[in-house]
Structure formats: structure tokens, C-alpha cells
Amino acid sequence: MPRQDDEKFSNRLDTAAKARAEMLAKAKARAEAAKATADERAKERLAIAQARDERAARRAEEKRLAAETAERAAREAEERKRREAEETKAAAEARKREEAEKLVQLLAEQKALRDAKYQARKDRQKKGKR
């Protein structure tokens, strides 16, 4: 701004003071606006952080539930395997018992047949001596 030569020193001081006051008012207005937007930004950041924490908690809960489900499924599979093994073992033992009973019966039949043959031979020998 061009200065006039006839301007007095006091006028120049007043003009400079007014300019400084205007600059200070502008700076205060900008600071207030920045403070208001800073509060809004802080609230937004807080909301974002809360949402992130909620998502993390939800993921952790889902992970925990999935782990429990997997553990339960593993226990059930192990129990099923154990039960099947017991059933297989019991069936094998039943087959062995059945085979053993058949063998005992077969041996008894063979012994009875042998005894009958022996008795028949003894009877024939007794008839011949009479």
C-alpha cells in the first residue's frame, strides 16, 4: 500500500495497530475453526478406533468359537474312533470265541467218533473170544 508523505507518525502507528489486530482476529478465527474441526476429527478417530476394537473382538470371538468347534469335532472323532476300535475288538473276540467253541465241538465229535470206533472194536474182539 503506497504511503502518503503527509501521513503523520501517529496515523501510521494506528494503522499498524489496526492491521495487527485484524491479523490477530483472523488467526483466532482460524484457530477456533481448526479447534472445532479438530474436535470433530478426534470424535471420528475415536469412532473409528471403537469400530476397529469391536471388529477385533468379534473376530477373536469367532476364532474362539471356531477353535471350540474344531476341538469338539476332534474329541467326537477320537471318541468315535475309540468306540469303533472297541466294537472291532469285541467282534474279533466274539469270532474267536465262536471259533473256539466250534473247535471244542469238533474235537468232542471227533473224540466221540473215536470212542465209538474203539468201543466197536472192543465189542468185535469180545464177540470173537466167546
pLDDT band at residue 128 using 50, 70 and 90 as cut-offs: confident
* CA 69 to centroid of chain Cα atoms: 6
C-alpha span between 127 and 121 (Å, rounded): 10
Cell numbers standing for residue 108:
468232542
Distance from C-alpha of 38 to C-alpha of 128, rounded to nearest angstrom: 132
Query: 69-117 pLDDT, tens per residue?
Result: 999 999 999 999 999 999 999 999 999 999 999 999 999 999 999 999 9
Q: What angle do CA 62, 65, 71 make, to 5 degrees?
A: 140
Residue range 23-42, pLDDT digits in tens: 999 999 998 888 888 888 98
Q: What is the structure's pLDDT at 35?
A: 84
